[in-house]
Structures are given as structure tokens and as C-alpha cells.
Chains A and B, each alone.
Chain A
């Protein structure tokens, strides 16, 4: 705790360790974006910095929310997000094209982003309401499946496979922690293994191609496999210490596609090497660990489940993106939060962190610094 007379008490009570960590990750991200632009703060680093600090302020502000408030908004937030998802779908139907966002004048809202924290809060709230004795009953299961299935389906048909998978994983994590019976997770897992070929058959052409190329990237090194191949070249050629700041040839000569968004990790790894990558992974691990600690220390069932689900959201973001960039998962279009250029991922992660900070504030009377 900061026991200084200079720092006002409300400020001292902030979770500074987390804020430093997150800011550190974001600053590192800005350095990478600066390099990706060929050594310039435009067009990405500057804008990203503003976005980050904007959302950081919002997250810090959110930390004063009370748990009861969060509980109260859980269902309404879910409902509104679901309506927006349907709205996006309807809009897409009218304009006869894929649609993922709502144009609300100055801002573009991508409702599927809100769905990630929303589904976590909703399920946490739901399982808090379910009496302990009922948890293995059918009526503790089907509402959760519906709450999760409907938005996941709406996002899948957008089509946005990456977000759909993320929403599903977040929801399933909460259900798992709520104590639903084992077979409910083992069964579908087995089913997925069996049904994967069927699902493959029903996929969109571009999705199917991404999976084909994921399984055999060399089959199409100049076409769809190009992303993965070039990303692996960038990471592999970086070596242990990297090529040095501003010396990544893959990103600077435009061989690495999406080097400032989804594949920003490859841009980073090329210049900062394995060392930079490991530091970044540990930094994220520390953030997630902090969130999991919040969950473990939770005094209510809602706080436990929500905190775990929100940390899992951050975990899935990071791990799916890194697996994709390193050629361990198909390219599904999930950005690396806080590092990739773009507002939506920052927004989602900051919403999660804001909620986590709010839950954490309830658990203590003193703040801890480092």
C-alpha cells in the first residue's frame, strides 16, 4: 500500500501493479507500431496511444463500480448486445453483404465485441441464481446453452469465426467453473472431434481454405498460406535477440501482411527476438494471473465466476492470436490485445480489466503497489 501523505487515498487504492503492467504492454505495442510504420508515429502509434489511454481512463473509472451495480447491469447488457447483434444481421440482410458493425454516426459499434464480457457476466449472474443443489439438473444447463448459443450463432453467420470461437470459449469456461457435470464438457469435446469433418463441409470457402492452409501451409505459399508462411519467417528469422529495432526486413519490406494488426506479434518478434516474445508472454501471463487471483479471492459466487471468465477472455485473446501467428492455429482473425492496432480489442480488454478492477476493489481495504 502506498502510505504516503502526498498521494490522495482514492489514487493510492488503485491496483497500480496491474495498471503498470498493462501500460507497459501497451507502450511496447506502441514501439512496435512505430517500427511497423517504418519509424513513424503515424499512422498507427499515435492513434493507438490515444485509444489506449482513453480506454484505460474508462477502465480506471469503472473500477469504482460496485459489484451490485455490475450484477444489475449483467442481464440488460446482454439483452442490448443481443438486440444489436440481430440488428447487424438484419442490416446485413438488407444491404446483401456481410456486416459486423453498426454505424452510429461518429462511432462504429461492433456488438460482437461487447458480447465477450456480456456473456461472462450473464452466465456468472445466472449461475449465482441457480441454487447449489440444482447445479447438475437440466434446468441449470439449458438456459445457459441458449444464452451462449444464440449470440454465438449470430456471430458465426456474420461471418466472424474468430469472435464466435472466443465467445463460446468464454461462456464454456464460466459454465465449467460453475460446476456443471464433467460429461457436459467431455461429451461435446468428443462430439466436436467427430463432427469436425462435417463442420468443415459446411464452412465458407475462405474459412475452409484457411483451415486447409493451416494444416499444410506449404500447399499455397503465395496464396492463402502466405500469411502464416511470412509470419513464421518473421518470427524464425528474429532468432533469440531479434534483428534490432527498426531492422525487421519482413515487416518493413511489406512481406508480412497485417504486420500492424493481427500479425503484430511477428513484427515484434522479428525485431525483438525470442527475448521480446517471452517477456510479452510473461507480461500477459501476469495480467491473467492477476485476474485469476481476483477470482479466487472473490467473496461472492458472481465475483468468482465473473472474474475468472473475464480473465479467460483476455487469455483466449492472447493465446488464439499467438497460436495463429506461430502457425499452431488457423488464421481466424483475432488481434493481440493492447498491441495490435485497432480500437475494438483494446476496448474489450479494457472493459474486462475495468470490471476486474471493480471486483478487486470490493475484496480489499488497502491498495498494493507492486
Chain B
């Protein structure tokens, strides 16, 4: 080629050849394009049709109605109340500022609400409504409805708000609902349902832990929407499915009665049905009113609740731990019997028990006491001496088998389980040898012993039946089989008799049931909250509330054929027999004779300044005036 002269003829051949090549390449590209188009339109047609359809059709979720929570008899604990709401549909608004100004006038909206609405309106996407007001009073709703033709973009509709007939008595049980936070929205993979104004999700308690059952399936208004969010037309809707109803083992009348009977104390009561472990009542007072939370709680109300030293935001039945005090004694006595201690053997109580260079005290001088007397009169020195002889490692297993330190599978998030110490635990936790004084402390439920009120009630039920009663709150959960505890029936009969003695003629004689033929057995407890000085000893009602002893009681009834077990722990309530025992007496009475119990509640409430609602209103008013806030308006009918 190099030396060849290229002529015009050569050039012509080259041109023809290269034209063929070019034509071939062009045809190849054309074929590739048709092939590609065929691939997209035939092979992947289904995929792209789906994508195109999901572009075209948007689902505006219609929130499902939240499931009910009902008690064991079908009485409502948490239900939905029809409410009126006002929203703005950004796309339909003609003159935003004018509409907002009009709404502000009609609904007397505060300035910060107006600011919020304006902000949300500017951020919203076409068809997504912006909430103007939840739970709008009927007068305002009616005023807006008649003006709707002049207010384009305003939507007044009926919705639902959560309603708790029990008010603050069920606050700690059910928790509350509220609008989803940004974090909750993220956690649910940006579930669009959570963005709808008025959609509330469980935030605490059962409302939170049972969320999956209660929420239901959202329906949807299917609409054709442009890429910019303009609604083109509505398609056929997809129906929603309401949330499931949850039935609790709670007896809401009993629960509310116990809550009211607690009065102004900071206290939790637990009542169990010993035959199946059903939790009949578990109020924790004082509490918050979940109804206020479901509309969104005010900053002041939150401040008032979180500043209260009676801890209204804590579910004391499961989250608070206390020393068990003398309520541990029946179980301790059972452990002693199990370890071979002769129940007739006496210990001489002189009111003081020296150990090394420390002296342990009894609340009085009981003289020579056997086991029965030691339980009935709650003699500490008997238990010091006997437990010291037997040793902690033989005692702890029995106490644990009665429910102390045990974890129960209950639908609550923040349960705490406490401790029953033993030498091995002491080494693990505090890296020190178990000392005799640890046994002494443990023998009367002090020192490292920590329990919650639920465990105390479980202990009462296990002592009552001799079986492993396991508490149950959800009615649809199977009753756990109750195994027999590893105890001697003779020992059990003896302990029950002693506990009957406590109520009949012992420390809790004040707690005798005012009923004929039904007797209660029980045990009081008084738990020290700090080391008492000599002058404080025996003074259960210190001037400083925080320094007073906790008052405990656990018991079961009827003593000869146990059906109910109950426990109460009153924070800083003072002597166990004085506060906790009468509380349980009235609560158990309610189960048998409501009238008698209610009469006693009314008498009690008269001494403390009125009903729960009256007292809460007064407390709120005084808190507001102390914090320089104007009094609340009286709620409208």
C-alpha cells in the first residue's frame, strides 16, 4: 500500500466500502434501539406498568379507628369519642392569610397556633391537610360549618379522640396517646399514616405496648395526583379496618375504687384473683389524666406533673422498688420451717439485739415469742435470731419462690424487678463477703431487699394457695398452669393461720373485714427509708414527708378459702397497720359488699377534702397560683 499510488478509482471503491459499513452501523443502531424498546415495552412491561400506576395513584390514608380497651366485664377503659376537627386543604385555599384570619376570629386561636398553621401551610404538599384544631368545641365547629362556602380550603369534619372514662385513675395503667414524633415517624419507615393530622399513637403504658393490636389498618382515599401534588380525580376508596379490642383482666370498678381509696397518698395497690392470676386492679396514684394528653398536654400541666414529689408519672405498681419490711416475714417463716426450725421454739425479745458493736432493734419488747407470735406481732428479734442460725443461702430461694425478685411477663415497658440478696449475689454485685448483719437486715426485709407492689401481691397469692400464681393482665393470654410450690402443706396451714392472726388479733387488727363470714389474712410492713436516729425510732410520722417510713400490707381473703390476694405499698405512709392495711380492707370489702365499701370511701374522702376530681382541681389551682398563672377556665359542658 505504501508505495501504491492512490487513484480516483481507488477512492471510489473505498467510499463505496465505507458507505456500506456506515449503512450497516446505522442499521445496527436502529435494530438495537428497536430491541431496547421491545425489551422495555414487552419484557419489562409489567414492572413499568406497576411503577407508572404507583406514580399515578396516590393513597391518602384514612386513619383507622383505634381499638378499645375494655375491662373483664366489658366496661370501657379506653374508647373513642366523636370529636370535631378543622383542617386546611392547601390546594383548595384561595386566599390563605384571609382564611387564617377568619379562622382565628371564629376559633379564638392564640398567636402561636396561627404561626404554626401558617408555617405548616407553607411546607405542606398540595392535598395533605394541615390541622387547625383537634377536638374543637361544637359551637365553633357549627360556626365554621355555616361559613364553609366563604372559606374555600377549610374542611370541618368529625373525627375521634381517645376517651378514658376512668380519668386519672387509669392513667398509669393505659398510658396515653399522642401525635407521632419525628423519631417515631422515622422508626416506622416513614409510615404516611403518622403524618395525618389527628392520628394518635400509643406513647406510654398499654396504649404503647399494645399499639400493634389497637391501631388497625388504615384505609385510603385513592386519588390521581400530578407530580406536583395537584389532585386530578378521586378513585374508589379502600376501606379501613378498626383496631382490635383488648380485654383486660382488670375489674374497672374495683380498680377505680382502690385508686380513689388511696386518697392523697403516693401509693400503688394490686389485687389478684388467686385462682388464675388475673390482675383485678393495679392503680398507681397520684396519676395524670390521660384524657388531657390525648389532646396534647399543655406545658404547664407537664411541669406540674413532673415536679410533683408524689411521682404521678411513675407506674409505682411495676416501676417503683421498696424494701419489703415485715411483709417478708411469712415467707421467711416458711423458709425457716423448711430449714427444720421448730415453730414452738421461743426466742426472748428484749427489744434489742446486739451484734458485734451494733445493736439491732425491735419496735417493742415482746418477751419470749414462738414463730406464730413472731408473725402475728411482727417481732423482729425472733427473725434476727432464727435467720442468723439458718443462714441466708437457705432462706433466699424460698423467698424468691414466693415471687420476690421474679420477672413477670406483663405488657409494660419499664418494669423493675428488685432483689432478694444472697452471698453469691453480694459477691457479684458489691464484691464483698456476706456478713451476719446482712442476714439480720434481710430477715425483716430491709437492707438489699427490694420489691415492687406486684411482687408483694403475688407473694400473698402464693402464700394463700401454695401454688405458683402468675399474674396476667390480658384476657386473651392463656392462664399459666399453677405448679405446686415446694412447701409442706402443714407449714402452709401454719403460716396462713399466723397471717389470719395478724388481722384477727395482731398488728393489723384495724384491717379486719367488716363482713360476716369472710375473714382476711395478711401481714403488715413498715419499711425504713433511711437509718433512724435514736429519737426517731418508733416515730412513724416524721414531720418531713420524705423521711417517713413506707407503709405496706399484703393479704388474702377469704382466709379459709382464698380467692383474692391484695397488696398495697404507701410511700412514706408511716406505720403499715395504720395506712396500708385499712386501704386493703376497704378494697377487699368492695369485692363483697360495694355499698359498705363506698360508704367507707365517702367517709374517708370527707376527711381529706372531697372527691378525687375536687382535690385534683384544687391542687391544680393552687399550683397555678403559686407559679403565677391565671386560673383555668371552667370546662364547658
> Which residues of A are at the interface with B, using a C-beta cutoff of 8 A?
132-133, 135-136, 173, 176-179, 230, 232-240, 249-250, 253-255, 269-270, 273-274, 277-278, 281, 285, 288, 292, 295-296, 301, 304, 308, 312, 315, 319, 322-323, 326-328
Contacts and interface: CB of A to CB of B under 8 A. Distances in A.
26 contacts: A132-B10, A132-B11, A176-B22, A177-B22, A232-B48, A236-B47, A236-B51, A239-B41, A249-B56, A253-B56, A253-B232, A255-B227, A273-B41, A274-B38, A274-B42, A278-B34, A281-B34, A292-B26, A301-B11, A308-B19, A308-B22, A312-B22, A315-B29, A319-B26, A319-B30, A328-B32
Nearest to B51: A233
Nearest to B14: A179
B311 interface: no
Contact of A315 (B7, B26, B55): B26
Interface in B221-274: 224-228, 232
B6 A133 contact: yes
Interface in B401-449: none
A136 B6 contact: yes
Contacts of A322: 33
B22 A249 contact: no
A308 B17 CA distance: 13
A194 to B, nearest CB: 22
B36 interface: yes
Interface of B: 5-8, 10-11, 14-16, 18-19, 22-23, 26-27, 29-30, 32-34, 36-38, 40-42, 44-45, 47-49, 51-53, 55-56, 224-228, 232
A322 B37 CA distance: 9
Contacts of A135: 6, 11
A235 B5 contact: no
B226 A238 contact: no
B37 A278 contact: yes
A237 B232 contact: no
Given A236-B44, A254-B226, A328-B32, 7 more contacts: A132-B8, A237-B45, A239-B45, A253-B224, A308-B19, A323-B33, A326-B40
Given A133-B5, A136-B6, A277-B41, A237 B36 contact: no
A239 B42 contact: yes
Contact of A319 (B29, B42, B47, B53): B29
Contact of B36 (A254, A288, A326): A326
A282 to B, nearest CB: 8
Nearest to A254: B227
A326 B33 contact: yes
B55 A233 contact: yes
Contacts of B6: 132-133, 135-136, 179
Nearest to A234: B52
B18 A250 contact: no
A312 B19 CA distance: 11
A239 B49 contact: yes
B45 to A, nearest CB: 5
A174 to B, nearest CB: 11
A135 B11 CA distance: 9
B12 to A, nearest CB: 9
Contacts of A253: 55-56, 224-227, 232
Contacts of A328: 32-33, 36
Contacts of B52: 233-234, 236-237, 249-250, 255, 270
Given A281-B33, A315-B26, A254 B228 contact: yes
B55 A255 contact: yes
A278 B18 CA distance: 27
A99 B15 CA distance: 39
Contacts of B34: 277-278, 281
B23 A292 contact: yes
A47 B487 CA distance: 99
A296 B225 CA distance: 53
B13 to A, nearest CB: 9
B18 A177 contact: yes
Nearest to A229: B51
Contacts of A250: 52, 55-56
B127 to A, nearest CB: 13
A132 B8 CA distance: 6
Contacts of B226: 253-255
B11 A179 contact: yes
Contacts of A233: 48, 51-52, 55
Contacts of B40: 232, 235-236, 326
Contacts of B26: 285, 288, 292, 315, 319
Contacts of A238: 41
Contacts of A281: 30, 33-34, 37
Contacts of A178: 15
Contact of A292 (B15, B19, B41, B42): B19
A69 to B, nearest CB: 23
Given A173-B22, A326-B37, A240 B42 contact: yes
Contacts of B232: 253
B39 to A, nearest CB: 9
Contact of A132 (B7, B38, B49): B7
A269 B39 CA distance: 13
Contacts of B224: 249, 253
Contacts of A236: 40-41, 44-45, 47-49, 51-52
A234 B44 CA distance: 12
Contacts of A296: 16, 19
